[in-house]
Amino acid sequence: MAERAGAAAEVSWPPWTAPIALVGGLILAALFGLFVDLPALALGVKITTSHTPQGIELAQTFVQDIAFVAAAVYCAHLGARKVSAWQFGLRPPRAGWVRAAGAVVVLLVSFALLSVLWGQVVDVGREKVLDQLGTGVVSAAVVCVVAPMAEEILFRGYIFSALRNWRGTAVAAVITGILFGGVHAGSAPVLDLLPLAVLGVGLCLLYRRTGSLYPCIAAHSINNSVAFSNLASLDVGEGIALTIGALAGAALVVFALGRIGVIAPAPVDSRLAA
């Protein structure tokens, strides 16, 4: 309690930068996509509005994720602010990893139950994301490792944190959840966007509770791994292996970023600020 009382003030990113981060991320994604499309077209790859080869779709998805992170980092630096990775939530959970893991389980079980109930009420249809990206190892890495990390940095690490300075946790979580669901409109069935928005709200509350983005990345990665396994018709063993591999992959990225100094420990008086 004494350590909690001594925590530093929360991240003071202006609320008005939240929509800039989202729109900027989408614009950057479109611009970065040109670096994929133009060389492909020059090499004779056929790309139309109705058909894009899986390899191109995969590359576009990857650069979109990079664009999301770039937009968040850029907006965080507005006003010549000094920015560190821990401000995006890349720091250990304040109540410990065991409690954080428990919170992740609660969120995922709750979302699974909601998804089952939602599926009983409406016919959401089949997701086409793997039809676009394929079911190979690289596709699994992008869907289950890269996308969860990039989306969590943008939506929970930046947008939610900025909006919380405007109207508090509840309003920020709802708005962020809606935006999170909406950004999946191109890859998920329309009727599936509502459960995704609810998941987005839950991830915001998970971040607020744990004070760390790592549990959110883990929950997001597990959810995507389960979805990938179902869509790719993997058996139970393969699905478990994919989930473990995705979590290990995310941990490896964090470790590598820590080794090169991108992720550094938060100051003692700021570690608990969420």
User: DSSP state, 158?
Assistant: I
The pTM of the full predicted model, rounded to 2 decimals, is 0.91
- What residue spans define the domains of the chain? 8-270
Q: 225-244: per-residue pLDDT in tens? A: 999 998 888 999 999 999 99
Dig out the tokens for 220 from the structure: 């997001």
User: Rounded to a whole number, what is the distance in angstroms from the first to the last CA of the chain?
Assistant: 15
> Residue with structure tokens 């389960």?
226
Predicted pLDDT at 125: 67
**Cβ proximity of 248 and 70 under 8 Å:** no
**Best CA proximity match to 218, nearest among 182, 248, 183:** 248
CA–CA separation, 241 and 227 (whole Å): 14
Q: What percent of the chain clears pLDDT 70, i.e. is strictly above it? A: 91
CA–CA separation, 232 and 239 (whole Å): 10
Q: 127-176: per-residue pLDDT in tens? A: 777 767 777 899 999 999 999 999 999 999 999 999 999 989 999 999 99
CA–CA separation, 219 and 105 (whole Å): 8
Q: How confident is the model at residue 4 (pLDDT cuts 50, 70, 90)?
A: very low
Which residues have C-beta within 8 Å of that of residue 222, sequence separation ≥ 6? 104, 108, 243, 246, 247
**Cβ proximity of 94 and 271 under 8 Å:** yes
Above 50 in pLDDT, residue 5? no
**Cβ proximity of 273 and 90 under 8 Å:** no
For residue 136, count CB atoms less than 10 angstroms from its CB and return exposed for 0-12, middle for 13-18, buried for 19 or more: middle
Predicted pLDDT at 231: 86
Neighbours of 154 (CB within 10 A): 30
Q: 202-217: per-residue pLDDT in tens? A: 999 999 999 999 999 9
- The tally of CA atoms less than 13 A away on the side-chain side of residue 86 is 17
